[in-house]
Each structure stands twice: as C-alpha cells, then as structure tokens.
Structure 1
Amino acid sequence: MSPHETSSQVISVRPVTLPVPARGLDLQVRVTAPIAGTGLPVIVFAHGFGQSMLAADPLVDHWTANGFVVVQPTFLDSVALGLTPADPRYPTIWRTRIDDLVQVIDELETIITAVPGLPGRVDTDRLAVAGHSWGGQSVGMLLGARVLDADGQPGEDRTDSRVKAGVLLSTTGIARGDLVPFAQENFAFMSPDFTQLDTPSIVVAGDHDQSALSTRGPDWFTDVYHLSPGARHLVTLHGGEHTLGGIQDYSSTATTDESPERVELVRRTTTAFLKTALGIDEAAWSDMAATPPEPVGHIDSK
C-alpha cells in the first residue's frame, strides 16, 4: 500500500520527552499536526504490543489531513526499548501504559509547545483517544472499561472525563474462560469489563481476525461493541485480520491481509465518527454512513 496523497501539509516532531523518574525511562512521544488551521482537535493514539510512536502512519496521515493533531507515546513494551520479561517492570506494563496516557493528557500543553507554530491553534477540550490491539484495551480504560480481579470484581476505575470520544481497533474481548492457558498465565489483565464504558466510541474489527490468545473466533473483537453502553458503531471489515488491511504501516511485511480498501474504510469511518462526536461536523457520520461500505465491510449502529 502506498502513502495516501493529500494537499495538506503537516509537521511532525519526535521525540518530545516527558520526564518520568519512577518509570525508569522518560516517556517519548511523537506529535503530528496540520501546518494550517486553528481549533484543532487532538487524538492520543496507543500502539499495539511491541510497536512504538512510529506506528499507524496510514491513519495518522489521514487524521492530520482532516485537521487533527495526533500524539503518539512509545510504551515500555516497544521492541525499540528492549525490555524483557525478566525486567521487574514487565508484569505491570499494562498499568504503566495507562499511566503514560494520562501523563500525555496532563502535559498536552507542554507537548504542543514543543511543536513550532502549533501553540494557540489546538483545542485540547476536543480530545479523543484511539488504540489498536493492546492499545485498544489501554485507551479503553480511559473510556470507562475496567479489569476484573481474580475474584471477578471490577478493579480500579481509570475513566478520564477529559476524553470525549474513543476509537477501538481490533480490541480484545472479555475473558469468560476463553483465554488459552498461556494468556491466562501471562496476561491476567486481559479480563476486561465493559459495562461502565460510557464514552462515545467506535469499534473496528475484522471478521477473519483469529487471535492466538483466545479460543473464540473473530467475534471476540466485537465484545466491546455489544457489551458497552458507550460504543455507538461497529465497523466490520470483510476478510479483515488483526492489522485491518495494513493500518500499522505502509507496505509492512507484518500485514497478513493487505488491502488499501480496508484501510481506507477504517480511515473514513473513524474520521467521520470523531468529527461528529467532538462537535466539529454534526453531519459527518450520517453523510459517511449514507453510502453502504459493501463489499469492503458493513456498519452496525445502536
């Protein structure tokens, strides 16, 4: 897949470094923004396992071309940082991811100031979070999801009222005894509860996404839509696997279902949803949804 050509110029700065002494490593983020425009809304994007602030250019390019500022932290699980399971921080990386997201939101003004020409042009009250795979679970916590403890009780509430909308891409579902033994032993945090996820969100899933961590089929990735009050729309990609056609990079060798058409549907639906959910264009979602996306996928709403 080739980069999507646009006439909109953007500026991208990396790394912007936020000191976090207790983390062992400072938090680094990338910021990408349109050169022109004011009142720009913000998307904080959480990458999947092992990736970094450099992930998801096919989405970032489209979002910034449509007037969004995209902020991308690199989490401790990134292969770029080299942490191993022997590191004492490893078992709690899932919590550190959420802490990192909150710190990014806390320090948005500092981050914006680091980008030449951007201060004074951003509306931080129009704030959304988006995440792919593990990143979907991470941002889901800010939207109202919680992790069940060993007794099946919802754990800490990390809902962040500053976040006005969410985008959940290939986000893992509830455990319900369906995790494979390896996941049960190593990923106890993969036991989400979605009943308090109230923040307006859109869910995107592939109907051929078979996870090695669950005994269930691709419907596992639709749980957050069916079980949360905040998830308004579900975009299902026909033939889509975990990378949803290749959202993580251009021409990535990790993409098993490369499809520019699927990526374009993810771009269009998420952008339209965010424009409407953040009060930028009330008609954006209805206008987009008026044209059925078959044969690439279909949309369910509630």
Structure 2
Amino acid sequence: MTMPWSARCDGSDPAVTTTPLPGEADTAPPLILRHPADGTARGIVVFCHGLGSSGRAYGELTEAWVRQGYVVIHPTFADSIFEVAKTHPDLGLDPSDDTLVLWSRTRPAAREAMMRILHDPAYGLDRIRIVTAILDRLPDILATIGTDPAGLPLAIAGHSFGAYTAQLLAGAVVDLPDGTRSFAEPRFSAALVLSGQGRDQQGLREGSWDAMTGPVLTVTGTRDGGAKGQDWHWKCEPFDLAPPGGKMLAVLDDATHYLGGMTPEGSVVPHQFDALRMVTAAFLDAHLANRPGAWNWLELIEDRIGDCPVVFRRK
C-alpha cells in the first residue's frame, strides 16, 4: 500500500498555446505548449510523442503535470502520421483526416511504412535535432506564454518511440550505421521513459545504459510489449541495465502499451491512468522541484499506487 499523495492545494489552471519553433521552416508543425495559465512555472518538460502520434496528443497525461506547475512542450516529429501523409503522397493518406490516428489498426499499407520509419535512424536523429533546437530557443518559445526559463529545471519525457528519444537524451548510447553515438543532453535534470525500449532494437545493446547516470522513471505494464514481440520484461531494461542513482521502475498490473490512457481512441482504464499521472507528477516534483512530500510519497510505494496494483522498484 501507499499513502495518497497530496497534490498542490493551489494547483495551476492549465492553458494551451500553439507557437512555431523559431528557425524552422514555415511549413514545420508548430509546438504545442501546455502550461499554467498565469505564466508561472516550477520547471519545464519536453514531451516526445510515440510513432505516428503528434504534439496534439497526450494532454490527458501532461495536464496533470501542468496542474503541478510545469510547462510541457510538445513537438510534432517527422514520423507523425500526419506529417508522413504529407511527405509520402504515394500512401494515399489525407493529412487533414483526424482518423489517421488509428493507422496501426485500420491502414495496413500505412502500418508497413511506419514500421520502416521506426527502424530508420534518420527519423530518430531528427527527433534529437528538434529537441536540441527547442532547448536552444527556450527564451523565445516561452516568451509566447510570458514565462522566463532562466533557472528553471528541465526534464525529458516520452512514450514508446518518444521514450527512445528520452533515453538517448538521458545518456543511453546507441550503435548506428556510422558508429556508436551518444546524445546525452546535460541540460535535462531527469527523464521519464514510458513504455521504452530494451536491448537489440534501434541500436540499443548491452552497455547502452551505462552512462545514463541521472534520475530516470521507467513505466510499463504487464500487458505491454515491444515492436518485435518482446514482453513487458524487456520494457524494464532501461531500469534494470542502468546504474543505480535516482532510478525508479513502475510496472502497472494489466496495463497495455498505453499505460491506462494514452490510446489513439481516447479510451481510459481509470485506476491505471490515475496511477500513471500520480507517479509521473510525483517524480517531477521530487527531481525538478525537490518537494519533500513527493520524495516521501515515492518512498512509501510498495505494491499499489492508488487503486492500481504495481511492481515498484528503486535503486
């Protein structure tokens, strides 16, 4: 059992702002900023979407972080199905069709193309480029919401393919066609890896996590799995194979790849998704805001978060 975690009594009202990424082409997808409406902030999170998704998604999760006082920046990457529809007209997809979010279930040709994209290093590298550009241009980006980033701690977060991006920026090294590469970004103080990848995929291998020395929260579920048929134990490897120091693992009982809520259809398993929102918000409050209550809450977790049974480990 774990004691209920007390969120801020003066929780921030969330707002959403759309703004271009300075320096990118006019045709580039804009950034989605989810942020406290009053312009205040205790930290900044860059959230990386999964394969085929977009910066418009994941608000049900990240607004929980906004209510804790964080600005969340959502880029849209070139592997978004809406961007792929523009750059690959041969697929016959309409980029204005909102039902494209269901590509993996309803469009076999698109699914085949997206699997090729997933394993094409160029797309992963472009994600790194965009996140780095966001960090380099934070003052201009946050000026659009009246927030000064000076002195604010940063975290990188991501789901699925976005969790791969988060791992690389947190220090995991990968073997690419041009050799072993590290993309460690010291401006990030912590990372959240939601349904991330383990060994033998996208250049990750034994030893990849040796340099991932900072705080990392890894979350998976017992019905989660990898693109090559791996089970949920493989999803624990970013925790299992990383060195001790600020590492936490939450395995949500019976949760799928979407961890209770982040589905394209918008369906939610309330007790699982509540657990995800609580543990991620507490992790941010502990490692970015250094709130004693959040640290204590995390230390008290045993086998449940709220009404959700979990396996919880720390090292």
Pick the TM interval, shorter chain. Answer: 0.7 to 0.9
Instruction: With the length of structure 2 as denominator, give the TM-score of the two structures.
Output: 0.78
1:168 aligns with 2:178: no
Q: C-alpha root-mean-square deviation of aligned residues, in Å? A: 2.6
Matching residue of 2:147: 119
Matching residue of 1:144: 171
Deviations 1:82-131 (A, max 9, x none): 234599xx65111001111111111111110122xx233x4554100100
Q: What is the CA distance between 1:189 and its match in structure 2?
A: 4.0
Matching residue of 1:220: 234
Structure 2 CA distance for partners of 1:49 and 1:191, relative to 1, 3 Å: farther
Deviations 1:161-201 (A, max 9, x none): 110000000001111xxx6xxxxxxxx44558111111211
Q: What is the CA distance between 1:288 and its match in structure 2?
A: 4.2
Matching residue of 2:247: 232
Instruction: With the length of structure 1 as denominator, give the TM-score of the two structures.
Output: 0.81
Percentage of pairs with the same residue: 25
Structure 2 CA distance for partners of 1:99 and 1:106, relative to 1, 3 Å: same
Question: Higher helix share goes to which structure?
Answer: 2
Report SS of the residue matched to 2:64. helix
| Residue ranges of structure 1 left out of the alignment (5+ in a row) | 1-5, 180-187
| Residue ranges of structure 2 left out of the alignment (5+ in a row) | 1-9, 89-112
Matching residue of 2:123: 93
Structure 2 CA distance for partners of 1:280 and 1:37, relative to 1, 3 Å: farther
Residues in 2 aligned to 1:35 and 1:110: alpha-carbon distance in whole angstroms: 18
Residues in 2 aligned to 1:20 and 1:191: alpha-carbon distance in whole angstroms: 33
Q: What is the CA distance between 1:39 and its match in structure 2?
A: 4.6
1:16 aligns with 2:30: no
1:205 aligns with 2:220: yes
Aligned length: 271
1:41/1:123 contact within 8 Å kept: no
Matching residue of 1:158: 183
Report SS of the residue matched to 1:20. coil
Matching residue of 1:296: 309
Report SS of the residue matched to 1:283. helix
* Counterpart pick for 2:160 among 133, 138, 143: 133
Structure 2 CA distance for partners of 1:136 and 1:212, relative to 1, 3 Å: closer
Residues in 2 aligned to 1:189 and 1:18: alpha-carbon distance in whole angstroms: 31
1:16/1:114 contact within 8 Å kept: no
